[in-house]
């Protein structure tokens, strides 16, 4: 699981730096988009792991929590890419 998380972080960082650099007008929304793209999915996956562990400790149904966290992480990644492209 940690190896998968490490590969995901490398993929996120590699995808965040594709494209041209900021022009003379400043980065503006691009720098925020890079932050959302790199940090957002990582935080979402870690939150999903934490919440599912707590749910399992409380003997609650937790199979859907990692799936929702992965879907939310993917949405955050695409949202960050949209902010970079704008």
Listing DSSP states for 49-65 in one string gives: HHHHHHHHHTT---THH
Question: Do you know the residue count of the chain?
Answer: 86
- Rounded Cα distance between 33 and 13, Å, is 12
pTM over 0.85: no
pLDDT, mean over the chain: 81
Residues 18-59: tens digit of each pLDDT: 555 565 556 667 778 888 888 999 999 999 999 999 999 999
Assign 75 a pLDDT band (cuts: 50, 70, 90).
very high
What residue spans define the domains of the chain? 28-86
Name the 3-class secondary structure at 82: helix
pLDDT at 12: 62
Residue 16 vs residues 28, 39, 54, 68, 83: alpha-carbon distances, Å: 15, 11, 32, 23, 11
């Amino acid at each position: 699981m940690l190896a998968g998380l490490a590969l995901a972080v490398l993929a996120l960082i590699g995808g965040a730096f594709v494209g041209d650099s900021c022009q003379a007008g400043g980065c503006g929304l691009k720098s925020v988009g890079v932050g959302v793209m790199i940090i957002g999915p990582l935080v979402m996956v870690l939150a999903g792991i934490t919440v599912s562990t707590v749910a399992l400790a409380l003997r609650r149904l937790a199979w859907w929590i990692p799936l929702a966290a992965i879907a939310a992480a993917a949405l955050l990644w695409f949202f960050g890419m949209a902010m970079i492209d704008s």
